[in-house]
Amino acid sequence: MTRALISVSDKTGVVAFAQGLADRGIAIMSTGGTLRTLREAGIEAEAVETYTGSPEVMGGRVKTLHPRIHGGILARIPEDPDRGGQADDDDRADLERLGAAAIDLVVCNLYPFARTVAGGADLATAIENIDIGGPSMVRSAAKNHARVTVVCDPDDYGRVLEALERDGTVSATFRRTLAAKAFAHTAHYDGVIAAYLAGEAEVDAADPPLTDQMAAEVRRFPATRTVSLERVTGLRYGENPHQGAAWYRERGLAAGTLAAAQEVGAGGKALSFNNLVDLDAAYDAVREHERPAAAVIKHTNPCGLAVHDELVEAYRRARAGDPVSAFGGIVALNRPCDLATAEVIAETFIECVVAPAFDGEALARLRRKKKLRLVAVGSVPAPRGLTYKRLGGGFVVQDEDATGPGEVDAGRVVTRRAPTAEERAGLDFAWKVCKHVKSNAIVFARGTEVVGVGAGQMSRVQSVAIAGEKAGAKSRGAVMASDAFFPFPDGVEAAAALGITAVVQPGGSVKDDEVIAACDAVEVAMIFTGHRHFRH
């Protein structure tokens, strides 16, 4: 490797990487802001326009689109060791006619188009952030990976320097891996641009013009959408041992998501497909709450969830919600795990714990549990935006069900008796939990503690019965949340017989009047929120 071309938008780590190349005697060419960054750091670099003999034009739109650049990248030089090529594939004569030199390394990442449009940029600004020269160089280098190394991810800088230090070259296998990553990089980039332009074109072509709300809907769900994924790891198997599986993450994923998490306690075996699905459901459930919260999840449903000023007490109460089902469950915390909480978690067999972080003492305590896996997410995640569900031959895509908080306070009291302040607080808590339970979903709560859950039943009254069975004597004086309306009075009648004093539900049944009358007959208070929270 004798010559490198470096032109990056994301300059993370580029100075140290360029210094490592320069220390090995590799000549560096660069452009624009990258060139200034390198020179300010004392790294000698040649301006691309000096090498090409052609100045940057059109405000920087054209600088690397030149035969000496792409010829230097695409040239085949067959006698180079370990670089493939046939005797009749020799482009050195053409390089000489161009006055060009072979470029062995291309370091390039692209204009921040996704970040620009996410920030609300107008169309003209978005267009100027469509990179042309960058993708062209990346694709040229990736195509000619038989000779050229292409790096588009700062995380690979260290690996390339290690290879050069160890072997004096970058192996053919590593070059191919980097080439595949480069094509994935440009494919994702083009997909983001295509989706953006498709949405803008549809909005512009609408007749009559769309309202702001309708335009926002079109932009969220454009005519084309590319989902770009990269593998995190292979999995031992899927939901069942006869199913193969792997774990993928989205490109450009947000911090605080499970796919960006760090496994900090291996527990003797890798996370499974089912562990990951449950971990995601568990962390999703606790992020709804502003105060310290803990959830115990079994098969994606909360079997216990509680909120308390002390995290350890939140966990203790969450586990008490269904101590039998908690055995072998998944625990989620919305605060860093401390030693006191770790001590209580360690009392029970738990499969995995997910939290923003684990302090040193907590980590040491939980690592003594030989089969316990620990996952640190780094922060409580922001809303996810869009969610996807795979169907045969395609996907259904929807906005995240991000509502819930505030819906009880804004709801309509429909019974003669209004909930007390204590009941209303319990209803608000139960309502936040209920949206994380599979439909038909029923949640019984006392204060900020789940005492019974009925999940995934074909009839709502059956879910009520199961929640009551789980809660036992704790049903008396508890409140109830239902993710959808009661089609008949039997559900609230069964709840009242168990001792439920207040109910929150969306309303909207043709038999709402009968359901309200059934509550009034036993002085159960009820709020209609007008919002449904199915989870299938």
d(CA 418, CA 10): 57
From the CB of residue 398, how many other CB atoms can be counted at a distance below 10 Å?
12
Please tell me which residue in 143, 181, 188, 533 is annotated as part of the active site. Answer: 143
What is the number of other CB atoms lying within 10 angstroms of the CB of residue 324?
7
- Residue 193 CB neighbours (<10 A): 19
Burial of 361 (0-12, 13-18, 19+ CB in 10 A): middle
Chain centroid to Cα 151, Å, comes to: 24
Kindly give the interhelix angle for 14-23 and 32-40, rounded to the nearest 10 degrees: 70
The enclosing H or E element of 394 equals strand 394-399
- Which residue has tokens 């605060």? 335
**DSSP-derived pairing of the beta strands 412-413 and 301-307:** unpaired
Selecting among 188, 299, 389, 536, the annotated active-site residue is 299
CB 434 within 8 A of CB 482: yes
Provide DSSP, 225-274: ----EEEEEEES-SSSTTS-EEEEEETTPPTTSGGG-EEEE-TTSPPPHH
Strand partners, 358: 337
Q: Is 299 known to be catalytic?
A: yes
Give the whole-angstrom CA distance, residue 208 versus residue 218: 14
Question: pLDDT tens digits, the chain, 536 residues: what are they?
Answer: 999 999 999 999 999 999 999 999 999 999 888 999 999 999 999 998 898 887 777 777 777 788 889 899 999 887 654 444 445 578 888 888 888 899 999 999 988 898 888 888 889 999 998 989 899 999 999 999 999 999 999 999 999 999 999 999 999 999 999 999 999 999 999 999 999 999 999 998 988 999 988 988 898 899 888 888 889 889 999 999 999 999 998 887 767 788 888 877 666 678 899 999 999 999 999 988 999 999 999 999 999 999 999 999 999 999 999 999 999 999 999 999 999 999 999 999 999 999 999 999 999 999 998 889 999 988 766 666 788 898 998 999 998 888 767 899 999 999 999 999 999 999 999 999 999 999 999 999 999 999 999 999 999 999 999 999 999 999 999 999 999 999 999 999 999 999 999 999 999 999 999 999 999 999 999 999 999 999 98
Which residues contact residue 347 at a Cβ distance below 8 angstroms, ignoring those fewer than 6 apart? none
CA distances from 477 to 318, 407, 430, 451 (A): 18, 22, 14, 11
Burial of 290 (0-12, 13-18, 19+ CB in 10 A): exposed
- Contact between 423 and 501 (Cβ < 8 Å): yes
Say which residues have a Cβ less than 8 Å from residue 391's Cβ, sequence separation at least 6: none
Contact yes or no for 483/459 (Cβ under 8 A): no
Q: Closest Cα to residue 488, out of 471, 467, 464?
A: 464
Residue 145 is a catalytic residue: no
